[in-house]
Amino acid sequence: MEVPSRPCSNIEPGNYEEVCDLITQIPSKVQIQDITKELHCPLCNDWFRDPLMLSCGHNFCQACIQNFWKQQAKETFCPECKMLCQYSNCTFNLVLEKLVEKIKKLPLLKGHPQCPEHGENLKIFSKPDGKLICFQCKDARLSVGQSKDFLQISDAVHFFMKELTTHQDELEATLKELQSLKNMQKDAIAAYKDISSLLDSLEQGTKVLMPRELISRKLNPGLYKGPIQYMMWREMQFSLSPGLSSLTLDPKTAHPNLMLSKNRTSVWHGDIKQVMPDDPERFDSSVAVLGSKGFTSGKWYWEVEVAKKTKWTVGVVRESIIRKGSCPLTPEQGFWLLRLRNQTDLKALDLPSCSLKLTNNLNKVGIYLDYEGGQVSFYNAKTMTHIYTFTNNFTEKLYPYFCPCLNDGGENKEPLHILHPQ
């Protein structure tokens, strides 16, 4: 196939300049768009590139018409009028080529985004690049075997509108959930901060209490979803009910080295290992003992005296814990415990364990259990300062847990003592 030469146009230069001058003086954007539409190849819908005029008079980009004829295989005809045309009879339209270059520089066309590299309008969205590109950019990417994931601008807009709608739906769902949590928090505050009974007792002249801070930005569950009545217990212990839980120790669970007081409210470690029945309930490794009463519902509070001891462990455990041999003392194994070592090393045996700072002398530990609320909290019983809170979903019977630890040759001989209401 003979390649056509690039002859000079048969339009006089003066006429070409007049056409360009007339176009630059057209003020209407609509008119400019009509003209630019005529300067776009019917096959690629972009500016003419190396425009080739067929023998019928219609113009196409050289690459576009060649690709079109390759697809036809047999006949070479005009895509517009279907007239048979020989490639050798085609002529490069230099006037059209120059006109396109001049029109693309008009101020009225500056609003259209153009490729900084090729100066063409950006008409294709490249998903790998995440931006608009021109047809020459597309051809360059295809020539080096890059991704063919290109979209028309209208399709790209539709694609991202769908993604935007999806994210908007997710955000709206999250907003609804947050609003629901906010309402639940308000209900929780109302449920656990009802002090109407306290106000009634004040009106009856029982006692004047110092104001207490009942609101916190964080609303720590151990501070504000706990035994609020016990925080006032020492000022109003005779007007609040119930008081301290009257717990005793269960000798059937006690390690053979543990000694229990007659009233079963105190426990300490003895050097002599007693001969005891090896009941399934008894600890044989941990020097521990359980309370005689288990809980499957309700809210309970008890206090343990730990003064003068160098180490101890107290808290709440599941009925089904391993009692023979050793096992990790973690919530996953059914243990919710507070532990002291070396007089000052205080830890909550969570997973991972949490080291805690002793700000005051910890002579008495308050333990609060809210079964339905899934909460075990520890307090400095003297000041009702919150120490730590475990949260879980309780499904079986729970028991108080007491471990006085080894007496260490007398250094840790003091007992753990369960306090009872006076």
What is the rounded CA–CA span in Å between residue 92 and residue 85? Answer: 14
Average pLDDT over residues 352-362: 87
Question: Which residues are paired to 248 by β-bridges?
Answer: none
Average pLDDT over residues 53-65: 91
CB 340 within 8 A of CB 315: no
Question: Has residue 9 got a pLDDT over 50?
Answer: no
Q: How many C-beta atoms lie closer than 10 Å to residue 333's C-beta? A: 15
Residue range 307-342, pLDDT digits in tens: 999 999 999 999 999 999 989 999 999 999 999 999
Confidence band of 19 (pLDDT split at 50, 70, 90): very low
Average pLDDT over residues 31-58: 84
End-to-end CA distance of the chain: 115
Residue with tokens 């090729």: 118
What is the rounded CA–CA span in Å between residue 107 and residue 27? Answer: 10
Please tell me which residue, 265 or 166, carries the higher pLDDT value: 265
Dihedral sign for Cα 251, 254, 257, 261, please: negative
10 Å CB burial of residue 208 (0-12, 13-18, 19+) is exposed
Name which of 343, 331, 310, 305 is nearest 388 in CA terms.
331
Please give the structure tokens belonging to residue 24. 């630059």
Q: What angle do CA 60, 63, 66 make, to 5 degrees?
A: 85
> What kind of fold does domain 244-419 have according to CATH?
Jelly Rolls (2.60.120)
Q: How many C-beta atoms lie closer than 10 Å to residue 210's C-beta? A: 6
- What pLDDT sits at residue 208? 44
Q: How many C-beta atoms lie closer than 10 Å to residue 110's C-beta? A: 10
Dihedral angle, C-alpha 135, 136, 137, 140, nearest 10 °: 120
Please tell me which residue, 112 or 296, carries the higher pLDDT value: 296
In 25-152, which residue ranges form alpha helices assigned H by DSSP? Answer: 29-38, 62-72, 94-103, 135-143
Q: What is the largest CA-CA distance in the chain?
A: 125
Q: What does the domain layout of the chain look like in residue ranges?
A: 34-110, 244-419
Rounded mean pLDDT of the chain?
Answer: 81
CB 298 within 8 A of CB 269: no
- What pLDDT sits at residue 204? 65
Q: What angle do CA 356, 244, 224 make, to 5 degrees?
A: 50
> What kind of fold does domain 34-110 have according to CATH?
Herpes Virus-1 (3.30.40)
